[in-house]
Amino acid sequence: MLLSLGYLETAHKKDKDMITDVILKEKQTDQNLNGFSFEEVGDDHLFTGLETPMKKDAFKISDHKKKEKIASLFREIMDVMGLDLTDDSLQGTPERVAKMYIDEIFSGLNPANKPKAALFDNKYKYNQMLVEKNITFYSNCEHHFVPIIGKAHVAYISSGKVIGLSKLNRIVQYYAKRPQVQERLTNQIAEELKGVLGTEDVAVIIDAKHLCVSSRGVKDDTSSTVTSYFGGKFNTQEKIVELTKFKGIGIWTASIFVMSSDIFSDVFAYGDATLNKVIKNVYGIEDDCFDRDLEGILSKWSPHKTLVCNVIWHYNDNVLTQTRNRI
């Protein structure tokens, strides 16, 4: 009889494990985004729209209550990880993390913290572009909650009103201080400026490093991500090139912007580490001869330099070496 009961308990456990596996698989299927798994969504940095995904009742409870709940939950996480919460160094960590989340790095989630932008008449009749460059910001990837560190360059052409320079910085910081995707951040800043300034003539350029790429996953510590928005009068080759005159917006950055704007199809991203490395490997060029030989190679790629650059960025060195004679 005891053997029979033991057998039944073992069989019951196997059934439970099988049912659990089925439920987990169903949940994973339900949680796919257009056929992409959770891991693929995170590693490819996909996002679902311009607006930050928020619950309808996101501000039903106070910030104080949120901090209490986050501290409690984070304490559980630390406990599961095996950390000794009685240690003097760790005792206050849950509360510190909760305060940091609500009051600092994710404070941009709360509309109450949105900067109030005062407008002034453009009495100087300045009708050229105004550029606020090298705005340093710290954000966090919404897929892994690790930092995004970068610089934003913001420009606009007055339609009769101007905004205080500090407000440009504050708008960038407001939208950066939330779980983010860089493409969304770029567009949110642009849309806010268009609404505040009452003009389509707005440009936003962001160059950022993602720790979810450099510290985990592919662990690429050399790459950065560039996104751009060009509206109204800025959506022309001349205006984009004009932006390169400002220190901090170099030829490589400008080349990437022009490529992404679909205005030009014959642009090479000078100074790009990946392109330089591949060209040297494929054509067998030594470092001291690179600058001299590069222009000759690029002349063969015209008028499709942008296309070739994109091909190189999407294929590894081994594939390119095998196709050397066809380039």
Give the Cα separation of 297 and 324 in Å (integer). 12
- CA end-to-end span of the chain, whole Å? 77
Q: Out of 132, 143, 180, 309, which one is annotated catalytic? A: 143
CB neighbour class for 213 (10 Å; exposed up to 12, middle 13-18, buried from 19): buried
Let me know if 12 is a catalytic residue. Answer: no
Give me the catalytic one of 144, 153, 192, 309.
Answer: 144
Catalytic site includes residue 289: no
Tell me, yes or no, if 141 is annotated catalytic.
yes
**How far, in Å, CA of 237 to CA of 228, rounded?**
14
Instruction: With beta carbons less than 8 A apart as the criterion, state whether 178 and 198 touch.
Output: no
Q: Which of 28, 68, 142, 188 is catalytic?
A: 142
Q: How far apart are CA 254 and CA 251, in angstroms?
A: 5
Report which secondary-structure segment, H or E, holds 311: helix 305-314
- Annotated active-site residue in 132, 153, 173, 210: 210
Question: Of 153, 188, 212, 309, which is the active-site residue?
Answer: 212
- Is residue 212 annotated as part of the catalytic site, yes or no? yes
- Residue 45 known to be catalytic: no
Q: At what angle do helices 273-283 and 305-314 cross, to 10 degrees?
A: 90
d(CA 164, CA 180) in angstroms, rounded, equals 25
Residue 47, class by beta-carbon neighbours within 10 Å (0-12 exposed, 13-18 middle, 19+ buried)?
middle
Q: Which of 182, 188, 192, 309 is catalytic?
A: 182
CA-based radius of gyration for the chain: 26
* 210 has catalytic annotation: yes
Can 304 be counted among the known catalytic residues?
no
> Which amino acids are annotated catalytic?
141-144, 182, 210, 212
